[in-house]
Amino acid sequence: MKAVATEKAPKALGPYSQGYVHNGIFCSAGQIPINPATDAIEAETIAEQTEQVCKNLAAVLEAAGTSFDKVLKTTCFLSDMGDFAAFNEVYAKYFTSKPARSCVAVKTLPKNVLCEVELIAVVE
Ligand SMILES: C=C(N)C(=O)O
């Protein structure tokens, strides 16, 4: 089992890793829209926050030796299901292979962000 760690994605906010690879499978931690260069949340709108989340996921996927086209499943957390359409618009640009997905609205997310996404991908 190998922990994934990259400075191109935000540091963990608590007792967890950015992800783990085991037996050809990568499981990521949930990514929220922190800019890893500044450790700050600069993105404001759901579109901007989704874009930052996807950039962070790109970084952990790369560090794990895989990519968006190898993603099997994502889990998406929104703080407001009213953001569903705007979230999907940005999400669809990155997840072009349309992996399996669950999307739920939750009461609050860490740092009061609007969205968080975690994923499972194949590492070949
Ligand atoms: C942001 C997270 N992934 C967390 O707090 O677990």
Question: pLDDT digits over 93-111, tens only?
Answer: 999 999 999 999 999 999 9
Gap between the Cα atoms of 52 and 108, Å rounded = 18
Task: Give the model's pLDDT for residue 44.
Answer: 98
Question: pLDDT digits over 8-38, tens only?
Answer: 999 999 999 999 999 999 999 999 999 999 9
ipTM of the complex: 0.91
CA of 100 to the centre of ligand 1 (A): 21
24 CB within 6 A, ligand 1? no
Instruction: For the chain, give the percent of residues with pLDDT over 90.
Output: 100
DSSP state letters, the chain: -EEE--TTSPPPSSS--SEEEETTEEEEPPB-S-BTTTTB----SHHHHHHHHHHHHHHHHHHHT--GGGEEEEEEEES-GGGHHHHHHHHHHH-TT--EEEEEE-S--GGG-SEEEEEEEE--
Which of 4, 11, 16 for mutating ligand 1's site (highest number of atoms within 8 Å of CB)? 16
CA of 96 to the centre of ligand 1 (A): 25
- Give the global pTM: 0.97
